């Protein structure tokens, strides 16, 4: 009987594995070391850097408490099981994050900080980010001309505010959590959204402009703006990349608040509608009759760290105001300084096409 009991005790000892989460009983705190009972004939310790990292937790711990710890080493040279409170806390936090993501239920966070891209907070003690693009239409900072300073000022007004969110995505290795604001639409709006589908064409008016796109209030498919009451209009986002076929840096280059436009629904998810203006426009890239090796004239429109954007001098079609742009890579010059010696923004030069891929809306050039 005693031999059987000893075997069970030995089996219990052998079950401890590096990386395992276990519950342990606090025995004592002495000389910057936490001693814990981790099972038959085994004593665990939290010491050194692990002790320092867990000081916030340790100040609330008392003898006899049961705490969760992670096995760092099953047995060190002195016969102790080395443990980590901090690592156990992180593992449990990520477990809660995964549960929240799988359950897809909304929960409330408190905004602690902001940056130019969105709102910062914590979920289970892990830093989390709520991008501006994932705010509900009511909270979007609809600032005239997408002024970044005014957008940041508007975002700062959210510090201390509680917002209901869901987990959009996470990356445990990168220690990142991305959130999206839970939509507050009522049941009638939810039913209306369910009646929409991708490819629907709608009439709307631009209701706000931000640096990443423009908001549009639109009527249901088949209905005009004039026959739809303001409170019955739905609101969606036209991303900057969906405003036009040309490369643009500021949405106000294409639309202004109050403009009446026609758009096509390209996505409906999480209570948000994404639309496009450009899909209803002729794609000028498909009208180009060009090939590798052709000579063209173009105007330098802007520089960036990997090259210069060149706008074709001649527009495609009499009524088509879209500007076609190609790229001359910085490798054609060697350095950014040499590129700026050879090219000047606003000036026209002769170029040769190195690659022309209209399906990808891509053209690479070299200076003749």
Can you give the CATH number for the domain in which 291 is found?
2.40.50.140
Q: Is the pLDDT of residue 317 over 50?
A: no
Q: Is the pLDDT of residue 72 over 50?
A: yes
6 vs 55: CA distance, rounded Å: 37
**262 DSSP 8-state letter:** E
Residue 320's pLDDT band (boundaries 50, 70, 90)? very low
Q: Per the domain annotation, does 55 fall within a domain?
A: yes
What percent of the chain lies above the pLDDT cut of 70? 89
Q: Per the domain annotation, does 95 fall within a domain?
A: no
Q: Which residues, 6+ apart, have CB-to-CB distance to 102 below 8 Å?
A: none
Sheet hosting strand 176-181, strand order edge to edge: 107-110, 162-171, 176-181, 126-131, 118-123, 113-115
Q: Per the domain annotation, does 96 fall within a domain?
A: no
Cβ-in-10-Å burial (0-12, 13-18, 19+) of 296 comes to buried
Q: How far is CA 261 from the centre of its chain?
A: 28
For residues 114 and 159, is the Cβ–Cβ distance under 8 A?
yes
Residue 143's pLDDT band (boundaries 50, 70, 90)? low
Q: Which residues, 6+ apart, have CB-to-CB distance to 251 below 8 Å?
A: 146, 209, 210, 211, 212, 213, 214, 240, 243
pLDDT tens-digit map of 173-194: 888 899 988 866 555 677 788 8
Q: Is the pLDDT of residue 8 over 60?
A: no
**323 DSSP 8-state letter:** P
Regarding whether 303 and 218 lie in a shared domain, the answer is no
Q: Is the pLDDT of residue 244 over 80?
A: yes
Phi then psi dihedrals of residue 97, to 5 deg: -60, -45
pLDDT tens-digit map of 202-214: 999 998 887 788 8
Higher-scoring residue by pLDDT: 362, 147: 362
Q: What is the dihedral of CA 158, 163, 167, 173, to 10 degrees?
A: 40
- Expressed as residue numbers, the domain containing 133 is 104-181
Regarding whether 290 and 259 lie in a shared domain, the answer is no
Give the model's pLDDT for residue 186.
54
For residues 197 and 268, is the Cβ–Cβ distance under 8 A?
yes
Regarding whether 267 and 318 lie in a shared domain, the answer is no
Q: Is the pLDDT of residue 28 over 90?
A: no
Regarding whether 267 and 315 lie in a shared domain, the answer is no
Give the model's pLDDT for residue 146.
58
Q: Per the domain annotation, does 94 fall within a domain?
A: no
Closest residue by Cα to residue 129 from 144, 102, 111, 147: 111
Residue 15's pLDDT band (boundaries 50, 70, 90)? low
Regarding whether 215 and 264 lie in a shared domain, the answer is yes
| H/E element, 328 | strand 325-329
Rounded average pLDDT over 296-300: 91
235 vs 137: CA distance, rounded Å: 7
Share of the chain residues as helix, strand and coil, in percent rounded to the nearest 5: 25, 40, 35
142 vs 153: CA distance, rounded Å: 12
Residue 367's pLDDT band (boundaries 50, 70, 90)? very high
| H/E element, 77 | none
Q: How far is CA 293 from the centre of its chain?
A: 40
What is the overall mean pLDDT for the chain? 83
Regarding whether 259 and 194 lie in a shared domain, the answer is yes
**31 DSSP 8-state letter:** T
**Most confidently predicted of 90-104, 281-295, 341-355:** 341-355
Q: Is the pLDDT of residue 319 over 50?
A: no
What's the predicted TM-score (pTM) here? 0.57
Give the model's pLDDT for residue 199.
94
Q: Which residues, 6+ apart, have CB-to-CB distance to 206 below 8 Å?
A: 214, 215, 216, 255, 256, 257, 258, 259, 261
130 vs 117: CA distance, rounded Å: 9
Give the model's pLDDT for residue 318.
43
Rounded average pLDDT over 252-262: 91
**How many domains in the chain?**
4
Give the model's pLDDT for residue 144.
59
Residue 119's pLDDT band (boundaries 50, 70, 90)? very high
Domain boundary among 54, 89, 124: 89
pLDDT tens-digit map of 299-313: 998 898 889 999 887
Q: Which residues, 6+ apart, have CB-to-CB distance to 78 below 8 Å?
A: none
37 vs 24: CA distance, rounded Å: 5
Regarding whether 272 and 201 lie in a shared domain, the answer is yes
Give the model's pLDDT for residue 148.
73
């Amino acid at each position: 009987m005693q031999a059987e009991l000893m075997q069970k005790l030995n089996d219990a000892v052998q079950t401890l594995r590096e990386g395992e989460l276990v519950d342990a009983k606090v025995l004592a705190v002495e000389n910057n070391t936490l001693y814990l009972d981790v099972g038959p004939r085994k004593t665990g310790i939290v010491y050194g850097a692990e002790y320092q990292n867990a000081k916030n937790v340790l100040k609330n711990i008392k003898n006899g408490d049961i705490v969760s710890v992670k096995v760092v080493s099953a047995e060190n040279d002195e016969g102790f099981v080395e443990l980590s409170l901090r690592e156990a806390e992180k593992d449990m936090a990520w477990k809660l994050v995964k549960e929240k993501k799988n359950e897809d239920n909304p929960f409330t966070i408190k905004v602690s900080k902001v940056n130019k891209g969105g709102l910062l907070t914590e979920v289970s003690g892990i830093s989390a980010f709520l991008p501006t693009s994932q705010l509900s239409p009511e909270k979007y900072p609809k600032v005239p001309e997408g002024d970044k300073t005014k957008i940041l000022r508007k975002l700062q007004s959210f510090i201390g505010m509680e917002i209901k969110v869901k987990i959009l995505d996470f990356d445990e290795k990168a220690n990142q959590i991305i959130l999206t604001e839970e939509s507050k639409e009522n049941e009638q709006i939810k039913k209306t959204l369910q009646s929409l589908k991708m490819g629907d064409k709608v009439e709307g008016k631009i209701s706000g402009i931000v640096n990443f796109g423009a908001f549009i209030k639109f009527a249901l498919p088949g209905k005009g703006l004039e026959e739809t009451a303001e409170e019955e209009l739905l609101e969606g986002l036209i991303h900057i990349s969906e405003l036009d076929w040309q490369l643009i840096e500021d949405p106000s280059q294409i639309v202004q608040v109050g403009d009446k436009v026609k758009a096509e629904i390209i996505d409906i998810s999480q209570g948000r509608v994404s639309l496009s203006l450009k899909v209803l426009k002729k794609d000028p890239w498909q009208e180009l009759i060009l090939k590798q090796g052709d000579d063209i004239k173009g105007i330098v429109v802007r520089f960036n760290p990997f090259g210069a954007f060149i706008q074709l001098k001649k527009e495609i079609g009499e009524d088509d105001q879209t500007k076609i742009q190609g790229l001359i890579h910085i490798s054609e010059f060697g350095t950014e300084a040499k590129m700026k010696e050879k090219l000047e923004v606003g000036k026209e030069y002769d170029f040769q096409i190195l690659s022309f891929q209209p399906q990808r809306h891509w053209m690479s050039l070299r200076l003749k």
